[in-house]
């Protein structure tokens, strides 16, 4: 199957860490991605991880991958109001022609 699921909403206070979770069902996934979509804007590639990696860190962003549980998370340290957006995880698999299967998106709201 090709289901990718995320919780719909997350609310955090400015300065706290945010953790956005994603679960997927396709064990043949090769790359897993995180995209950010601000209101009225396109999808911005934040980071991605290859399926043989456990973790990837890029400045305030940390991606954790638990391949056994098919669980992906994105941690945003020191969350700012500018981080308020919808965050999508997506997976692709080898031989799939780079067809991305997207999650349902998590709306992150950062409160002062």
Partner 1 sequence: DTAVSQTPKYLVTQMGNDKSIKCEQNLGHDTMYWYKQDSKKFLKIMFSYNNKELIINETVPNRFSPKSPDKAHLNLHINSLELGDSAVYFCASSQEIETPLHFGNGTRLTVT
Q: Which residues bind partner 1 (CB under 8 A)?
A: 30-31, 33, 35, 37, 41-45, 48, 86, 88, 90, 92, 94, 97-100, 102, 104-105
Q: Which residues, other chains included, contact 83 with Cβ-Cβ below 8 Å and sequence gap of 6+?
A: 18, 76, 108, 110
Q: Which residues, other chains included, contact 95 with Cβ-Cβ below 8 Å and sequence gap of 6+?
A: none
Shortest distance in whole angstroms from residue 15 CB to partner 1: 27
Judged by DSSP in three states, 60 sits in: coil
Q: Closer to partner 1 at the Cβ: 7 or 31?
A: 31
Shortest distance in whole angstroms from residue 95 CB to partner 1: 9
Q: Which residues, other chains included, contact 16 with Cβ-Cβ below 8 Å and sequence gap of 6+?
A: 79
Q: Closer to partner 1 at the Cβ: 82 or 95?
A: 95
Shortest distance in whole angstroms from residue 40 CB to partner 1: 8
Q: Closer to partner 1 at the Cβ: 79 or 101?
A: 101
For the chain, the maximum distance between any two Cα atoms, rounded to a whole number of angstroms, is: 45
């Amino acid at each position: 199957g090709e289901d990718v699921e995320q919780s719909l909403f997350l609310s955090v206070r400015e300065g706290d860490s945010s953790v956005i979770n994603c679960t997927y069902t396709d064990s043949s996934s090769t790359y897993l991605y995180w995209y950010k979509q601000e209101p009225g804007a396109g999808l911005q590639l934040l980071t991605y991880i290859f399926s043989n990696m456990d973790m990837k860190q890029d400045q305030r962003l940390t991606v954790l991958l638990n391949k056994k549980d098919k669980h992906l998370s994105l941690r945003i340290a020191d969350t700012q109001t500018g981080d308020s957006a919808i965050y999508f995880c997506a997976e692709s698999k080898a031989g799939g022609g780079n067809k991305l299967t997207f999650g349902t998106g998590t709306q992150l709201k950062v409160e002062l």
